[in-house]
Chain A
């Protein structure tokens, strides 16, 4: 059956032409590169009353990473989540080096699991403290999930389609898939696809109750067992996706592609009640890596895997996993693993669902 007969459009694979990132170790793709080379560093330890053990481990975005004089006026009212997204998106555009003569031809797809929950809780504070008639309109307008994407659009003057999607496990994957359709339909010349999730105080409490927070501050992504350990994290990554390589091109990116991979990157980060599903999702004999101990645990952190994988392909290097406990004898990436030209980023969700993002270059 031809593609036309099956109603499937002929399509090309989108290219990553720029990356911007802000995470627990700072801002910028160079910072991620350094983190991948340096390996594991211990998280910050917070003294929280609801966490009985000594110090609540967390990879928090440092405040200085969100200070940017270029945008300070435009984002002075923005909440933390929006600031993360603006900085990552602006850095992605700058990293791409692409000149944008027509910003109406640029789209934005923003993916988040929990959205601006800290602002939502701040709004609930208003209701509790001051009553229904005396709440802050600013808190309300910033509590909608698409506020971050709106800030990205207004700061960068991007006037194409602008969409925010939410999902607890696959928000980023669905965003990339949709971006691919926009490029193939020629709705856009470029799509800024990104993620952001924050870990506010109430979320720290929820994490302390719902997750098995690692008392030693270390995640072990290859344990792949029930009740895996996690270290809450937060951050934002944006990618400039285009139909063709342009500017500072990294590699091609496709969801659920069929090409065999040189390396498999798993997103095991303690956010699933049982991570043994990864064992069934992995191809045998293909080297495995995981970078979640650098980003921390959060629902959209698979975008960090994607950024790390893009760096490996462009830089023609293999970054070894920062934590290497390996009870299942998986073929972990090491110094002798050849630099990959194809990487599969594997993400397992609830109910046995698995999505794979294929990067190639």
Chain B
């Protein structure tokens, strides 16, 4: 571990797998898969989805004078996880004088895609501005920064499905550069009609519950959620007496420069991202105890990712995809999976990779099929995205 590592001092997670980090781990332990029928909006598309049904008001999850009152669903998901993460970090009330940045990934929340607004504009040549006003108020990072009173750097990362991972990576750079002492990082996305229609049009949505890395996988299921980590410089954590053993020690990112939606077949972009993250962390592939893979269950993603993981880490790698618990939560995925990797290091086990049954001959390795004890200090989380983005984070546990 290098002295450039930053402390994960708090975590918050909400998804179909649970309303909190603890609740999510209980689902993982029990192997509970909360996929179901779409209920959040009407659509003729029939496919399982992973809704965060535990998201309820109250909307003010943390102490603040400016918590969002009319936030959209993505912002409410984010605030639920931010609230848990800040409580976990001991920052739920007294944040005065702290230099806090906010770096969050999303996909849906960045788009002005309100159907009622657009339909009215199209049909009448006029439309009320309420949806536009709400959109302008709810830039995700900006809205969270306002709600928690953070006045450090603020950026909403919109890198499609790697947004959450890249947001954590950007926050890592901020902290190392001294731009802030603490960063709220991760991602959030709601289940929304636009990506449901879009991914279906791309023929990558499974009609059944997704089965990442399985020979017979049929595609992804969409999910929703938020995964938020509180990152902190070692100095700030020491000053505040934070005892968390978890660190983010490396981030790597590389672009395929190949295709808007398909990964480069040789996986060289993902491999470059992985090797950059390992190098930054100062660890070798042999130091990595497991990988929380992107594993969307699409034919292309899993084939390329599986081949690269085998090439970099060898055939004995323990790995899993948690998409079978959460669905593909798009901009939230990287944040959630950073947390899942971190909690696995802390708890000493990873769950069975849900949905996997049969090894694919085109993928040289297979994910874990049962709850597996791990005795390691180092894990990797990967993300692949539209646009050919590939990103990886190295997460470590100190004291071992």
Contact = CB atoms under 8 A, between A and B. Distances in A.
Interface of A: 3, 6-9, 11, 49-50, 103-104, 108, 114-115, 117, 120-121, 123-128, 131-133, 135-137, 140-147, 149-151, 153-154, 156-168, 170-171, 174, 177-178, 180-182, 184-185, 187, 202, 205-206, 209-210, 351
Contacts of A157: 257
B272 A159 contact: yes
Contact of B119 (A9, A128, A180): A128
A49 B125 contact: yes
Contacts of A147: 260, 386-387
A140 B201 contact: yes
Contacts of B125: 49-50, 205
Nearest to A112: B158
Contacts of A168: 136, 139, 142
Contacts of A145: 107, 110-111, 158, 160
Contact of B157 (A133, A151, A164): A164
Interface in B274-317: 276
Contacts of B341: none
17 contacts: A7-B233, A9-B177, A9-B178, A11-B177, A120-B113, A127-B193, A135-B197, A140-B195, A150-B255, A153-B388, A157-B257, A160-B253, A161-B254, A163-B253, A167-B139, A202-B118, A206-B132
A167 B157 contact: no
B256 interface: yes
Contacts of B196: 132
B266 to A, nearest CB: 12
A131 B166 contact: no
Nearest to B157: A165
Interface in B236-258: 236, 253-258
Nearest to B202: A137
A205 B121 contact: yes
A146 B160 contact: yes
B179 interface: yes
Contact of A7 (B129, B153, B193, B235): B235
Interface of B: 43-45, 107, 110-113, 115, 118-119, 121-122, 125-127, 129, 132, 136, 139, 141-142, 146, 153-160, 166, 170, 173-179, 181, 193-203, 233-236, 253-261, 269, 272, 276, 385-389
Nearest to A203: B112
A178 B122 contact: no
A222 B204 CA distance: 53
A279 B269 CA distance: 48
Given A49-B125, A154-B257, A162-B255, A123 B385 contact: no
Given A145-B158, A154-B257, A162 B112 contact: no
A175 to B, nearest CB: 8
B206 to A, nearest CB: 16
B388 A124 contact: no
B165 to A, nearest CB: 11
A344 to B, nearest CB: 19
Contacts of A171: 155
B113 A141 contact: no
Given A140-B197, A166-B139, A202 B121 contact: yes
Contacts of A181: 173-174, 176-177, 179
B260 to A, nearest CB: 5
B198 A174 contact: no
Contacts of B193: 127, 132
